[in-house]
Amino acid sequence: QTVVTQEPSLTVSPGGTVTLTCASSTGAVTSGYYPNWFQQKPGQAPRPLIYTTSNKHSWTPGRFSGSLLGGKAALTLSGVQPEDEAEYYCLLYYGGAWVFGGGTKLTVL
């Protein structure tokens, strides 16, 4: 069974920069996994942030960026704001099926 792994939790100071990663049990993540990233706050539906590795939706704040880093998909937040405190999920494509990561709880402190 395919497993997608994210850091369970990360802490960042306001104004700082943090990178969340997304690894696949099948090996290096490439653009062919079409990584998507989502932000979710308590009681809300997930909010899409990034698709196909690095493309932003029209509503995605400029401080969010996606990339491939060291064989993983990565989401970088630069100039973190208090409102960025949330759970973040990645989603990878496996030739038909998709698999979510376990999520990263980002604390802004």
Partner 1 sequence: QITLKESGPTLVKPTQTLTLTCTFSGFSLTTGGVAVGWIRQPPGKALEWLALIYGNDGKHYSPSLKSRLTITKDTSQNHVVLTMTNVDPVDTATYYCAHRQNSAFDYWGQGTLVTVSS
Contact residues for partner 1, defined by CB under 8 A: 1, 34, 36, 38, 40, 45-46, 48, 51-52, 55, 57, 89, 91, 93, 96-103
Q: How far is the CB of 93 from partner 1 (least distance, A)?
A: 7
Residue among 38 and 64 whose Cβ is closer to partner 1: 38
Rounded Cα–Cα distance for residues 18 and 20 (Å)? 7
Q: Identify which of 89, 87, 90, 75 has the alpha carbon closest to the alpha carbon of residue 18.
A: 75
**Token pair listed for 8:** 């369970």
Least spacing, CB of residue 100 vs partner 1, in Å: 4
| Encoded tokens for 49 | 């942030």
For residues 7 and 79, which CB has a smaller minimum distance to partner 1 in the complex? 7
Q: How far is the CB of 89 from partner 1 (least distance, A)?
A: 5
Helices (H) and strands (E) in the chain, counts: 0, 11
Cα 93 to Cα 26, 39, 64, 79: the distances in Å are: 12, 18, 21, 29
**From the CB of 16, what's the least distance to partner 1, in Å?**
25
Whichever of 15 and 23 has its CB closer to partner 1, that residue is: 23
For partner 1, the closer of residues 37 and 108 by Cβ is: 37
